[in-house]
Every structure is written in structure tokens, then in C-alpha cells.
Structure 1
Amino acid sequence: MHAPYACTPAAARGRLVAEEESAFRSCFQRDRDRIIHSSAFRRLKHKTQVFVEHEGDFYRTRLTHSIEVAQVARTIAGALGLNTDLTEAVALAHDLGHTPFGHTGEDALDALMAPYGGFDHNAQTVRIVTALERHYAEFDGLNLTWDSLEGIAKHNGPVAHPLPLALAEYNDCHDLELHTHASAEAQVAALSDDIAYNNHDLHDGLRAGLFTEKAISDLPLVGSAYAEVDRHYPGLGASRRRHEALRRVFGAMVSDVIETTRNRLAEARPDSVQALRELGFPVACFSNEMHSNIKEIRAFLFANMYRAPRVMEQRERVTEVVNGLFPIYMSNPEFLPDGWRAEIAAARTRTALARIVADYIAGMTDRYALQQHAQLTGTDILHDGV
């Protein structure tokens, strides 16, 4: 039974191009399935979070991260009486617009695109699902419901002006009401992203040897989780001990979101999804104490993982890959594959060409970007140096 403020297929706000409904799936299930079957979703397999793709098979990729986020999001949404299918669709799509090499690649591409309107991975996700996926006969993109598109565009909150160019272009023809908060389903997807990456970055950082269990023993949530495991399972092997501790950290964050969000919903008492959107504040959130705990964990990860010398060295190298590819393609657009030729021919301005080049580079996997850079420059950036 859905809560009165939950999104429901019967009240969904339709698609830009009208379609006959499926006999077997709700409109939100259909959105989720189209996302899973998209080319951009498959490419997430070889796009990384922190480590470069070649460094090891055990580290999270954007694909495994997105699946983990979707699992957390379904759990929270179900506990809150929300639509789990819409929540899952937004969670699975949230990283489709990421460049190769994680946020490092995005920072580099945004700097290169500064004269042409900039680059934003969330806006790029909207661009992918509304234009760049080209498999269907009757439309470009995936023709997702308004509800899914709204959730993708606004899961982190209202979008301030000036809008990212890619998002502004679509919003002009299909108003996503970017000034309001998104549905509770999308808000849950956003928090699930926070929960998933906080947990798995601790796990990946330990596995990579960037820090030790002893180094994180004083962190809130983490230290108490290890202590609890040691009380219940004295002498447990290192790998099992780590897993048991971090899954407790994970569980504490999930439970906190469910309890805090329930309380906020009880206080706000929205009687519809539109009333919830127009509250002026998010209903899904961590408690103040949990927010503070997570902030401390993130500060530790920033200092010891995201800015670790080994990671910073790789950031410098992969930034050079993006910085090298962009001007080459701008000067030689004929180097793009044949499928991009019609768009290149139609580009009448330098900005239009830059948008095509950005679309192409953003869609690359880590591996393909490295290969293309090596082929076009004759430099193996990871082994020859910058």
C-alpha cells in the first residue's frame, strides 16, 4: 500500500512522446528496464569511482555502485510506503552522465567546456536519456516518464539558475519544474547514493591499502561497529571482520534515514506528491547526529583516499588524457566514429561542435579513453608519465 505522498503509475505525468502502456509492466518498471538496457548503463561497467579501471577487478565501478544504490533505495522506499520501481529507476540512472575517470574526468571536461556552457554530469544524464540513446524508431532517448526525468534532474534538490546547458535545452520543451524539490522517491535515491559510496569507499580504501582498520577506529559509527563485531566474534578473520563491521555502518545509515524521514513526513503531513514537492524543504534526510558523523567520515576519506598521493598522481595523469583528447577532436572532428558524422556536419557553430565532442568523450569508458589517447598522441599516459 503506497502512502498518499508516493508517486503512482496511475497518476504519472506521461511521456514526451505518447506510447501505449505495457500489458505487463507499470510505466515506472518500463522506465527502469529501459535504463538497464541502455548503452550508457552498460558502459558504467568500465567507468570508475576513484581508482582507474585497470587497477583491479575488486574496486567499485559506476555500474556496481549504481546497483548498490538501487538496492539501498528500494529498501528505504519500501519501508516508507513509496514507489520502489520509480525509486529504483532514478537510482540506476543517476550516474549515466559521468565521464571516464570519475569526478576527475568531469572536472577536466567542465574546464574545457567553460567557453561553451560548461559540463555537468547530472545534466548530461538527462541529455543521455532524452537524446543520446538512439535505439527506438519513434524517438531519441528513452522517452522516460516525466516523473523519472524529474527525479533524475532534481534528486539533489531544486536546480538553480543559470541552468546547465544540457538541462536547459530539454527543460525548454518539457518543463520539469526545476524550482521545486523532487518526489520523495528521488530524494531517497539521492540519500542512497550517499550511503552506498560512504560504505564502499571505506571498503575500497582499506583493500587498496590507503589506510588501515586502526586508522579508522576512532571514526564515528566505524569504531563502534568494529567493537561490536569483536564482542560477538572474537578472533574473526580480517576479511570477515571488515565485512561485518562495515555492513553495520551501512545498516546504521539506512535505519537513520528511514526513522528521520518518517518523523519529517509525520510532521509535514503532505497529502499528495505535489504537496510534498512544494514543501520547500526535503523530507528524506539523515538526522543531525548522523549527518555530523558522515561529515567526519567524508573528511577522513577526502584526506586519506581522494587526496592520497597515489590517487592524486593518477588524477594528474588521467586529467592529461581528457585535456589531450578534447583539442584533438575539436581540430579533427573526422576522428570521431562514422555514427557521429551527421551531427558534425549539422554543427554550425564552435559551441555546437564542442557539445558533440563533449558528448563523445563523456561517453567513453576509462579503458577506451586511455586507448584513444595513446593512439592519437603516441603516449601511454599511465606508464610514460605526464
Structure 2
Amino acid sequence: MVDPSERFIPEPSKDTGFGRSPYERDRARVLHSAGFRRLAAKTQVHTAGSGDFLRTRLTHSLEVAQIARETGARLGCDADVVDVAGLAHDLGHPPFGHNGEDALDEVSRAWGGFEGNAQTLRVLTRLEAKVEGAGLNLTRASLDATCKYPWPRRDGTRKFGVYADDRPVFDWVRLGAPDDDRRCLEAQVMDWSDDVAYSVHDVEDGLYSGFIELRPLLLDADERAALCADVAQVYSSESPALLNEALIELLADPVVAPLAGYDGSFRAQQALKRCTSVLTGRFVAAAVDATREKYGDGPLRRYDADLIVPQAARIRCALLKGIALRYVMRRRGMEPWYAQQREILTDLVRLLADRAPDELDPVFAPLWREAPDDTARRRVVLDQVASLTDPAAQSWHQHLTGGSASA
């Protein structure tokens, strides 16, 4: 029988009289980690630091953890395990959001590539300075709950959850999984919570900042069709026609419709916050109710069940994601800045690889010296670049290039 509370490296008991569970200890370790603090200056959708209202990776992770905790508790999961997964799920994301992730993957393809979820496992089990040889040394259950994509890189698949040299700890985490690709229930709860937070909150940020206006979608059938085409291409396997029907219903929803006249006033912000709260609650309830309908009322944990998310909820979530994609991430004038972000990260990897170990951070220079081969040394360089916040990446780039945009 596999013990979900086991740690990769056994630790002596730390009973301080408070009776904390192993998973409560896991949560504390993530909250106090350096990687978690860095999320405060990493881009979610809007560039970190571009506004005092807009979300960062840190606030996003806190919101995912709250949604996951509530969802998991309703299903009978250990609330701390799903909380840990929500807090930790983005620890491996590099500077500049998904744009930075794509840039690092492209520059490192020859030696295994880059993926934010695989990097999260690496941060948790290797790079955080807590336990020698095990990172934060979290329990098996907590680590498994962070694995969105529990498989190595495969041809034709962009997403994966483990690099080749992290397979030993990954295989240990996955002991007891009924098959190679199946995610535990807690990981599925975290993933849906991430989708919910991402979709609802990014639209909230976009409306508040003035990048999103819903009125054109109400008035222009061609614009609705264009949005649905984007959603079908990126976020949903449903037909554009079905997505269009769902979009019309979403825009007419009593909690969404008032936002077509959003003007930034206090009353408008109240309506926006109410919409955010109601939509989040609906998405959580839809998944909980559908899962309970299939599996009954008892506690559900690990591999007892799969999370059931109704089609209607998935479609609405995808449409909200598409609104943020079309009007925020792909808004006019952003491509030069996105290109500069990619250039900064590509230059950093190339320059640090050429100048290592002398120019590496003191945390990473010893790891570079101890690496067994060139591939492992380049992975250390990638680890350093991925760990940087957005401002730190720009600062390091200026230092290494003498202030120029490229070397």
C-alpha cells in the first residue's frame, strides 16, 4: 500500500504539540518558499507592476488555492492537499507569462525544452533550498496534486510534466497511480480551479483596465464569430456555431449583462465584483454537483474518482478565456513588447551559458559545476533564467548586454 503522506527523503518527527498534519506542513513550506514570493513580480496576463489592481502570478495562485480548497472540501478531499496544489501550481512559470514559457522552450529544444509544469516539479523537488536532494520534500500526495500533465515530453504534445533528469522523483510520486496518464482527483480539482480563476479574473482585470468592452460583442455578429473562432482554435473542441449560441446566452446572463455599460464607477465595480463571485460559484458548484451525482456523497480522494465538469460550464469558461485572449493578450500594439520579452530571455540563456559559471547566481553556480554533462549544465542555466521575476530578467539582461536590447 502506497503511503500518500510519505516524503521522498524521510524526516524525523517534528511534533511541536500543535498536531499539524503532513499536508499542513506542506502548505507552510510552499507559502514560505522563495519561489512563491517571486510570483509577486511575475506576469499573469498584464505585465507585473503595470497597475495596482491587476493580478500577478502570486495573487492568481492565492485565488486558485482558495477555489481549489473550497471545491476539494465539498468533495471530501484533504483541503490542505488541494490548497498546496493551488499555491504551488505556477512556481515553475518563468518571467513574462506564457510568452516567456514559449521563448524558453524554443531556445532549449535541443536539450529537452521547457514547460512551466515540469519546471514546477523541479522547483518543488530540487531547486528550493529546504532539504538536500529533495527541494521542499513535500509529501507524495501534495506533489501528485500539482501534476497537471503527469507524463514526459511526447511528440505532438506541447504540455508535459517532467524532464528526463527528474524522472526518479517523478516515478516515486506516481507510485500507486492506476495508469500512466491519469491524474489524481486533487490535481483535477486544481486544474479546474486554475481554469475558473484564469477565465473569470482575467476578464475582470480586462474590464477594469479598459481593454475589454462587452458592448461590441452584443451589437456585432461578425465580432462574436471572430471571438468564437479564436476560442475554437485555442481553448475548445466545440464548433464555432455552438460556441456562438453559448456566447449569446452568456452576454444575456443577468450578472454579465450590466457589464456592457461598465464605466469604472463604484456602482460598476460592485456589479463587476458580483459577476466575478457568481460565475466562480457557479463553476465550482457545477463540477461538485456533477461529480457527486456520479460518485455519491462519501469522501473522494486520490484515485477514488475523476472530476466531472459539465459541457456547459467548460464552454462558458472557454469563452471567458477567449475574451481575455482576444482583447487583452492580443490587443493592438503589444507584439513589439512581446518580441522584446522573447529576445530578453533568449539572450539571457545564450549569454549565461557562454559565461557560466562566473556570471551565474551563487545559488546556481555550484549546481552548474556539479552537473555531469553539458545538457545538465544548460538545464541549470535555464533554471536560473526561469526563476527570475520580470524586473530581474530585464535587469540581468541590461547587465549582461551593457544595456542594449540584444547582445
Instruction: Give TM class, smaller chain.
Output: 0.7 to 0.9
Distance 1:215 1:26 in 2: 52
Is 1:210 matched up with 2:211? yes
Alpha-carbon separation, structure 1, partners of 2:62 and 2:281: 17
Identity, % of aligned positions? 32
Alignment match of 1:286 (pick from 297, 309, 317): 309
Matched, 1:147 2:141: yes
| Counterpart-to-counterpart distance in 2, 1:241 and 1:210 | 17
How far 1:172 sits from its partner (Å)? Answer: 5.0
Which of 280, 286, 292 in structure 2 is aligned with 1:250? Answer: 280
- CA 1:229–1:103: 2 relative to 1, 3 Å: closer
- Give the CA deviation at 1:342: 1.9
Question: Structure 1: how far apart are the matches of 2:146 and 2:49?
Answer: 29
**Matched ranges for 1:18-167 at <5 A:** 18-23=10-15, 24-136=19-131, 139-153=133-147, 156=148, 158-159=150-151, 162=154, 164-165=163-164, 167=166
Matches within 5 A, 1:352-371: 352-371=376-395
Q: 1:135 to 1:246 in 2, by over 3 A?
A: closer
Report the Cα distance in structure 1 between the residues aligned to 2:174 and 2:281, rounded to whole angstroms: 37
- In 1, Cα distance between equivalents of 2:139 and 2:183: 14
Give, in whole Å, the separation in 2 of the partners of 1:364 and 1:193: 22
Q: Which whole-Å deviations, capped at 9, do the CAs of 1:243-299 have from their partners, x for residues lacking one?
A: 222322222212212112212323xx999756526xxxxx21321111122222323
- Whichever residue aligns with residue 191 of structure 1, its letter is W
Deviation at 1:92, TM superposition (A): 0.7
2:212–2:324 CA contact under 8 A, matched in 1: no
Does 330-339 or 164-173 show the bigger shift? 164-173
Q: Structure 1 residue 150: deviation in Å? A: 1.2
Mark the runs of 5 or more structure 2 residues left unpaired by the alignment: 155-161, 219-246
Cα distance in 2 for residues equivalent to 1:197 and 1:135: 30
Report the equivalent of 1:259: 289
After the TM superposition, which segments of 4 or more aligned residues of structure 1 sit over 6 Å from their partners?
A: 269-272
Q: How does 1:190-229 map to 2 (within 5 A)?
A: 190-215=191-216, 220-224=249-253, 225-227=255-257
Structure 2 counterpart of 1:141, one-letter code? G
Equivalent pairs, count: 360
C-alpha displacement at 1:228, in angstroms? 7.5
Map of 1:280 onto structure 2: none
In the TM superposition, 1:261-340 aligns within 5 A as 261-266=291-296, 273=301, 276=304, 283-333=306-356, 334-340=358-364
How far apart are the structure 1 equivalents of 2:113 and 2:37? 25
User: Distance in 2 between the 1:72 and 1:349 partners?
Assistant: 42
2:304 maps to amino acid: L
CA distances 1:142-197 after superposition (whole Å, capped 9, x unpaired): 111111111112xx354266453354353356554471423322211111111101
1:219, distance to aligned residue in structure 2 (A):
5.3
Q: CA deviation at 1:301?
A: 2.5
Give the distance between the partners of 2:300 and 2:47, measured in 1 at CA. 44
Change (3 A) 1:215 1:259: farther
User: Does the aligned pair in 1 maintain the 2:198–2:321 contact within 8 Å?
Assistant: no
Of 19-28 and 90-99, the range deviating more from structure 2: 19-28
Aligned position for 1:14:
6
Q: Name the aligned partner's letter for residue 403 of structure 2.
A: T
CA shift in 2, pair 1:339/1:70, >3 Å? closer
Q: Please state how far the C-alpha of 1:26 moved relative to its aligned partner.
A: 0.3
Listed as ranges, the gaps of 5+ residues in structure 1 are 1-9, 278-282
Judged with a 3 Å threshold, the aligned counterparts in structure 2 of structure 1 residues 100 and 236 are, in CA distance, closer, same or farther, namely closer
Q: CA deviation at 1:378?
A: 3.0
Q: 1:124–1:167: 8 Å Cα contact kept in structure 2?
A: no
Residue 324 of structure 1 deviates from its aligned partner by 1.3
Q: Measure, in 1, the Cα distance between the counterparts of 2:145 and 2:271.
A: 37
